[in-house]
């Protein structure tokens, strides 16, 4: 496994639509393993393949996101006993790997703050569906079909947007987007000097 560099806005490849996965092999397994390691190292709760420069429809979501509040609390306690690390989290709550995922049903709405590993130093409220039903494949090409609510649903929608070349800042007002671009310009100038 290897931590990969994360592509950040305004790199043009983030605006491209990812290709479907057609081969389920060791190369795909290695990509998923690298994505999981990269996500934990960032740290983040989800990562789409385009965020590491791979234009394939692959998403990973931290296992803790899929748990109930009670299960998350138990996981946090177990992690503190095990010396909280990404490896212990992955052992206790394995990440969810979705290949060629799509939302087939959605309902309700929620508004909450989002940030993104590919959008530097910015978070804002974004409107999303409250509940979604997802169809995807696992690493062996077997079908998956499940429902997600609340934060889990938000993470799925955010990551699936990446597969279609959409960033969360594309879902906010033009004024907020403009303010972020100005902030980003200052960040980039500060890094260059």
Which active-site residues does the annotation give? 159
Token duo for residue 90: 């992955």
DSSP state of 177: H
Nearest to 106, CA basis, from 67, 144, 149: 149
- Within a 10 A sphere around the Cβ of 121, how many other Cβ atoms? 10
Nearest to 46, CA basis, from 56, 58, 59: 59
β strands within the chain, DSSP E: 46-48, 58-61, 96-107, 110-116, 119-128, 131-137, 143-149
First and final C-alpha spacing in the chain: 34
Distances (CA, A) of 41 to 2, 30, 64, 168, 176: 10, 16, 15, 21, 29
């Amino acid at each position: 496994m290897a931590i990969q560099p994360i592509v950040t806005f305004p790199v043009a490849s983030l605006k491209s639509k990812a290709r479907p996965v057609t081969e389920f092999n060791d190369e795909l397994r290695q990509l998923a393993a690298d994505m999981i390691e990269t996500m934990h190292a960032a740290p983040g709760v989800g990562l789409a393949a385009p965020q590491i420069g791979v234009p394939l429809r692959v998403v990973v979501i931290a296992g803790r996101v899929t748990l109930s509040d009670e299960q998350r609390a138990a996981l946090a306690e177990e992690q503190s006993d095990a010396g909280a690390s990404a490896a212990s989290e992955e052992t206790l709550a394995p990440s969810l790997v979705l290949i060629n995922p799509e939302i087939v049903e959605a309902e309700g709405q929620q508004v909450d703050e989002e940030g993104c590993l590919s959008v530097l130093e910015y978070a804002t409220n974004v409107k999303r569906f409250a509940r979604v039903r997802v169809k995807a494949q696992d690493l062996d090409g077997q079908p998956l079909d499940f429902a997600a609510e609340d934060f889990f649903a938000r993470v799925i929608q955010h990551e699936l947007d990446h597969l279609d070349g959409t960033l969360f800042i594309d879902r906010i007002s033009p004024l907020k987007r403009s303010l972020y671009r100005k902030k980003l310009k200052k960040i980039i100038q500060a890094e260059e000097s």
